[in-house]
Amino acid sequence: MKMKWAFLCVAIAILAVLAGCEPVMVLDPKGPQAETTANVIWISIAMMAIIVIAVFVLLIIMIVKYRASKQDENYEPPHIEGNPVVESIIVGIPVIIIIFLSVITVKSTYAVEAPPKKYEEQEPLVVYASSSNWKWHFSYPEEDIETVNYLYIPTDRRLEFKLYSYGPITSFWIPQLGGQKYAMADMVTTLHLAADEPGEYMGRNANFSGKGFAENTFLVKAMPEKEFDDWVREVKATAEPLTEEKFDQLLEPGHLGQLTFSGTHLGFLPPPEGEHSGHHHGANEEHDKTSKHQ
């Protein structure tokens, strides 16, 4: 009776905890890249659940069927040689599982690294996403605007992020749109994403980068393309221009709110170019200025 009440209490406690949990963002995808990742996670969870259930079923069978029993004192169990069939099953099933998960993982990795198939014929919206301690700068070169700590994007359009850092290595991550990717000081990495649904999503730095790491987050708002175009026109008409002096201030360590500028910093402080160029690009003056912000 005591065991019954103990089990009931544990079940109620688990349900109470789960009732207060928010949905896991990586399992609530809002874009094709995130959906691919979520599918792989669900397949892995299902595979692990099958394995765990099978192991526990076999354990119970072994305990019940081969439990200790009263035998004659002189009883000796029969000598049993190894069974090739059993040994093949024991070795073969794990090998098959590993091969299955490996194939799925490799295929999904290539899929999320490439532009989303449903939007690959489109011209991408290019956004340069650069990090500094402890903030994110989003430059829209074609629109000639820049934001800090928030990102507006159109839905149903291919997005191409160019990632780099003005400080330590960070990791750009929007869980509901896709996987994370590193932003580094000496090279530009590219991340392809897309948003299928309008809404607000959380973005953050997923790589520890000092004492301000916990608040190194940004807001992502996906909207229909017409609303995005209206927002761009409004920013260009009303936002203050981004000057070199102002950008130098933004790069100082610390936290900021959401800021909006017309123009971008790409003109006077371009990102690193080439595979091994580091910040040795452009004139020496530009190189010295960039090195100062490392």
Q: In the prediction, which pLDDT does 276 show?
A: 40
H/E stretch holding 245: helix 244-250
Q: Are residues 101 and 141 in the same domain?
A: no
Rounded to two decimals, what is the model's pTM? 0.80
Per-residue confidence in pLDDT tens, the chain, 294 aa: 555 565 566 566 555 544 445 568 999 999 999 999 999 999 999 999 999 999 999 999 988 887 777 777 787 877 878 888 889 998 999 999 999 999 999 999 999 999 999 998 999 999 999 999 999 999 999 999 999 999 999 999 999 999 999 999 999 999 999 999 999 998 999 999 999 999 999 999 999 998 999 999 999 999 999 999 999 999 999 999 999 999 999 999 999 999 999 999 999 999 987 544 443 333 344 444 444 444
pLDDT at 2: 56
**């990586």: which residue's tokens?**
26
> Does 4 reside within a domain?
no
* Residue 81 covered by a domain: no
Do both 226 and 210 map to the same domain?
yes
**pLDDT at residue 11 in the model:** 60
Q: Supply the pLDDT for residue 150.
A: 98
Residues 172 and 101 occupy one common structural domain = no
State the total domains in the chain: 2
Question: Range of 274's domain?
Answer: 121-292
- Domain co-membership, 166 together with 51: no
Residue 16 lies in a domain: no
Distance CA 59, CA 77 (A): 21
- Looking at residue 68, its amino acid is A
- Is 12 within a domain? no
Nearest to 236 by CA among 213, 261, 253, 207: 261
Beta bridge partners of 122: none
What order of strands is seen across the sheet that includes strand 189-194? 189-194, 158-165, 125-132, 135-140, 145-148, 259-262
What confidence score (pLDDT) does residue 14 get? 58
